[in-house]
Amino acid sequence: MDRPLIFITNDDGYQAKGLRCLIDMMRPLGRILVVAPEVGQSGKSHAITMSQPIYMRLVEEDDDVTIYTCSGTPVDCVKVTFDYLLKDQRLPDLALSGINHGANSGVNVLYSGTMGAAMEESFYNIPTVGVSLLSHDEDADFSSIPSFVLPIIERVMRGEAGIPVCLNINVPDLPHGQIRGVKFCRQTRGFWREDFEKRQDPRGRDYYWLSGYFVNTEPDAVDTDEWALKNDYIAVVPVQVDQTNYTQLRQLQAWNTQCSE
Amino acid sequence: MDRPLIFITNDDGYQAKGLRCLIDMMRPLGRILVVAPEVGQSGKSHAITMSQPIYMRLVEEDDDVTIYTCSGTPVDCVKVTFDYLLKDQRLPDLALSGINHGANSGVNVLYSGTMGAAMEESFYNIPTVGVSLLSHDEDADFSSIPSFVLPIIERVMRGEAGIPVCLNINVPDLPHGQIRGVKFCRQTRGFWREDFEKRQDPRGRDYYWLSGYFVNTEPDAVDTDEWALKNDYIAVVPVQVDQTNYTQLRQLQAWNTQCSE
């Protein structure tokens, strides 16, 4: 079998429509291996399961597509695939995460289980792409994605973006004809603020629901993913694992560190 | 009350010895507000709790120290503090996370609940520091930390590192006299590989435990946090929120994007 092997995971769980659409989109390009969470794992970031064991379950298998579920986080799905299922075997030629139901633009990349998994995939030195649609609807319409996103994935798969590479692709929730194209851009600066909703449980204890909104601290910048999405473009941000702030590092190195040798 | 207000959280839970040591270390510098996880939340990264409500509980309160627990993740602890408990009130003058029982150097910064919380704290434009000791021992010895780390925290608190700032400080598990000083350095390149341990539960189902080891892909580099720690220095890495890979972005922007206007 010389067909390419394509690994897919997500954070909405193995039954999510976005995952099924990504499988269908990639099916012509190779054999598909899916290991996806048993249940939704939105907001799980790069979390791993340390205090509980991980269960797996084979739920579908034919010549083209194999699907396992995993009881853990999206990053657990990646680890159990590469370091257990595929251990000492040929690595996938491409690793994907998505299609996520909801935006992972801007600082969402930090909270996102979809992008946590994509970054973890990139540790295996294979081309890696995370894809998200700006709709939380369970029955969202993913039909405008393939004609824009598949050409990018194919170039990444051919190695044209180099290795390691981890792209964060966000797609506006628009009909195909209204999407104006693709912009390669940087992560928008900003943060979330929460309006905690306070309620009382039947036993009289207060509890709180997270319910936040994104604050874009550079709304006028035109080279950001938020700008691209607001202007009906697909936003593509290359993501890196190194979180060192080098500008600040040079400043700090000038400190008179009393404690050094 | 003009005393500085210092916020502290962690990922090992409110009863962890490392948290208690950080409280004791900071007590002379101001009033302490702690909101820490009810139970251990190691490996929770930047995860937030989206599908469950959050509970809080006041467990200690005197003139100097107030301690709440939170049922959620370390990042939830930060959000509920800044966007609920302190909403429309004066912000803390300093925000800390730790002292973590275990290393958060290198790529651990991605998986770490301690550093997830520290990065979240930095979104409130106050000086932020995460501190970790290279020992997982519940009863670890934190006594060598204050004389090295407190001077750094005091400079950060005075604004000498600028804003935003989020330092990732890792301390070798050594007696005070054996620590050679402080190095400001960059995040080491590398990744974790897992040896999944397969077991069977009493009902005959297979399950797996994560149990990995770190692979340093640049063992000879001398400007990394792993090098500093291996050579008995305290490692300080300034961490940033922007995960854009700008070198790769410039390459991608040269792609002939068929789909643009």
A-interface mutation test, from B81, B203, B259, B260, most A Cβ less than 10 A away = B259
Closest residue of B to A188, CA-based?
B242
State the smallest CA–CA distance between residue A73 and chain B in angstroms: 10
- For position A2, what pLDDT does the model report? 81
CA distance A103 to A192: 13
Instruction: Give the list of residues 6+ apart from residue A126 with CB closer than 8 angstroms, or none.
Output: A91, A92, A93, A94, A95, A163
Find the angle CA(B62)-CA(B67)-CA(B68) to the nearest 5 degrees.
Answer: 135
CB–CB contact B240 A245 (8 Å): yes
CB–CB contact B107 A241 (8 Å): yes
CA distance A59 to A42: 21
Residues in B touching A116 (Cβ below 8 Å) = 45, 110
- For position B1, what pLDDT does the model report? 54
CA dihedral sign of residues A230, A236, A239, A244: negative
State the smallest CA–CA distance between residue B113 and chain A in angstroms: 8
Instruction: Give the closest of A198, A199, A239 to B243, CB-based.
Output: A239
State the smallest CA–CA distance between residue A44 and chain B in angstroms: 4
Within 10 Å of residue A215's Cβ, how many Cβ atoms?
A: 14
CB–CB contact A253 B83 (8 Å): no
CA distance A54 to A83: 13
CB–CB contact B44 A47 (8 Å): yes
Instruction: Give the closest of B49, B194, B210 to A210, CB-based.
Output: B49
Tokens for A135?
């709709």
- For position B258, what pLDDT does the model report? 47
Burial of A189 per CB tally in 10 Å (0-12, 13-18, 19+):
middle
CA dihedral sign of residues A247, A169, B248, A224: negative
CB–CB contact A249 B180 (8 Å): no
A47-96 confidence digits (pLDDT tens): 999 989 999 999 999 999 999 999 999 999 999 999 999 999 999 999 99
Phi/psi of residue B252, nearest 5 degrees = -65, -35
| DSSP symbols for B195-240 | -PEEEE-TTS-EEEE--EEEEES-TT-SSBHHHHHHTTEEEEEEB-
Residues in B touching A35 (Cβ below 8 Å) = none
Residues in B touching A155 (Cβ below 8 Å) = 255
CA distance A24 to A142: 11
Give the 3-state secondary structure percentages of chain A, helix then strand then coil, rounded to 5: 25, 30, 45
Q: What is the mean pLDDT of each run of 10 residues along chain B (261 residues)?
A: 91 98 97 97 94 95 97 97 95 97 97 98 97 97 97 96 96 97 97 93 94 94 98 98 96 72 38
Long-range contacts of B199-208 (CB under 8 A, 24+ apart): B199/A53, B201/A53, B205/A55, B206/A55, B206/A56, B207/A53, B207/A54, B207/A55, B208/A53, B208/A54, B208/A55, B208/A56, B208/A80, B208/A84
A32-54 confidence digits (pLDDT tens): 999 999 999 999 999 999 989 99
Q: Cβ distance A32 to A8 under 8 Å?
A: yes
Is cis: bond before B92, omega within 30 of 0? no
Query: Which letter does DSSP use for residue B185 in this model?
Result: -
Structural domains in chain B, sorted by start? 5-188+220-253 (3.40.1210.10)
B-interface mutation test, from A156, A215, A241, most B Cβ less than 10 A away = A241
Instruction: Give the closest of A53, A210, A252 to B48, CB-based.
Output: A210
Number of alpha carbons in the 13 Å side-chain half-sphere of residue A60: 15
CB–CB contact B244 A255 (8 Å): no
- pLDDT of A133 strictly over 50: yes
B181: helix, strand or coil: strand
Residues in A touching B258 (Cβ below 8 Å) = 151
Phi/psi of residue B169, nearest 5 degrees = -105, 125
Closest CA to B80 of B59, B54, B113, B112: B54
Closest CA to B108 of B164, B13, B43, B169: B43
Tokens for B230?
């291996």
CA distance B244 to A185: 9
CA distance B194 to B192: 7
Residues in A touching B249 (Cβ below 8 Å) = 184-186, 237-238
Residues in A touching B127 (Cβ below 8 Å) = none
Closest CA to B35 of B129, B117, B125: B117
Q: Cβ distance A39 to A12 under 8 Å?
A: no
A-interface mutation test, from B12, B35, B39, B48, most A Cβ less than 10 A away = B48
CB–CB contact B160 A255 (8 Å): yes
Instruction: Give the closest of B184, B195, B257 to A181, CB-based.
Output: B257
> Do β-strands A94-101 and A5-9 pair in parallel, antiparallel, or remain unpaired?
parallel
Region A182-210: mean pLDDT is 95
B-interface mutation test, from A68, A112, A242, most B Cβ less than 10 A away = A242
Q: Cβ distance B21 to B142 under 8 Å?
A: yes
Our measurement of the distance from residue A169's CA atom to the centroid of its chain's CA atoms, rounded to an integer in Å, reads 8
- For position B129, what pLDDT does the model report? 98
Phi/psi of residue A146, nearest 5 degrees = -55, -45
A139-175 confidence digits (pLDDT tens): 999 999 999 999 999 999 999 999 999 999 999 999 9
Instruction: Give the list of residues 6+ apart from residue A148 with CB closer than 8 angstroms, or none.
Output: A171, A179, A181, A182, A234, B259
Our measurement of the distance from residue A113's CA atom to the centroid of its chain's CA atoms, rounded to an integer in Å, reads 6
Residues in A touching B121 (Cβ below 8 Å) = none
B22: helix, strand or coil: helix
State the smallest CA–CA distance between residue B23 and chain A in angstroms: 23
Interface A-B: count of C-beta contacts within 8 A:
242
State the smallest CA–CA distance between residue A20 and chain B in angstroms: 22
CA distance A146 to A169: 12
Confidence of residue A260 (pLDDT cuts 50, 70, 90): very low
CA distance A227 to B88: 30
Burial of B48 per CB tally in 10 Å (0-12, 13-18, 19+):
buried
Give the 3-state secondary structure percentages of chain B, helix then strand then coil, rounded to 5: 25, 30, 45
- For position A32, what pLDDT does the model report? 98
Burial of B187 per CB tally in 10 Å (0-12, 13-18, 19+):
buried
- pLDDT of A261 strictly over 70: no
Closest CA to B242 of B75, B119, B129, B121: B119
